[in-house]
Chains A and B, each alone.
Chain A
Amino acid sequence: QLVESGGGLVLPGGSLRLSCAASGFTFSSYWMTWVRQAPGKGLEWVANIHQEGSEIRYVDSVKGRFTISRDNAKNSLYLQMNSLRAEDTAVYYCARWSWAMDVWGQGTTVTVSS
């Protein structure tokens, strides 16, 4: 099971930190990923992270602004989001990667607006 938290309303230029708590599986054995979905739009992959955090990738639109990280001791995944823009408004999902995104959280909503 994956449970996201940390979403909310933030001003443009502001910051938020999303968390994803994992349970029911060996968290440290899996790549993890963040995916977002803007209102009424399709899915967009945001970032992923290797089991030990040694490899990280981002979509170009968030590079330099977002940071994905994990704490295997706490079975948790994070997404630090800085310099937020209106176009970052979306539901953010964390997902486990095992040849596909096979376990998803319920999502947390981020709204960037003045």
Chain B
Amino acid sequence: EIVLTQSPGTLSLSPGERATLSCRASQNIRNNYLAWYQQKPGQAPRVLICDASSRVTGIPDRFSGSGSGTDFTLTISRLEPEDFAVYYCQQSGSSPWTFGQGTKVEIK
């Protein structure tokens, strides 16, 4: 099983600042099948990025994904008020599919 470790656990930032979220895998993720999701309280998750770096249709371009192999990053270039949420990475390169434990981006 591939374990995904996200860091930091909580990120305290102000609107307009840049957010950098990390996701590290315990082994290489086949074909970089890694996605990023955003979840707000009481809501279902929403996919932002697939295949490590492909932004999903409709997602603002301030969200970007990068990385390969075992190290991946989600960057939010300038935080908007609606971006404060919990973010999860998830791999589908091998079964069982797994999620990271999440990074909470909170208002400083």
Contacts and interface: CB of A to CB of B under 8 A. Distances in A.
Same complex origin of A and B: yes
Interface of A: 33, 35, 42-45, 48, 57-60, 93, 97, 99-102, 104-107
Contacts, number: 57
Given A100-B50, A100-B56, A105 B44 contact: yes
Contacts of A43: 37, 39, 45, 88, 90, 99, 102
Range for the number of chain B residues in contact with chain A: 20 to 34
Dominant secondary structure of chain A at its interface with chain B: strand
A104 B46 contact: yes
Interface in B41-77: 44-47, 49-51, 54, 56
Interface of B: 33, 35, 37, 39, 44-47, 49-51, 54, 56, 88, 90, 92, 95-102
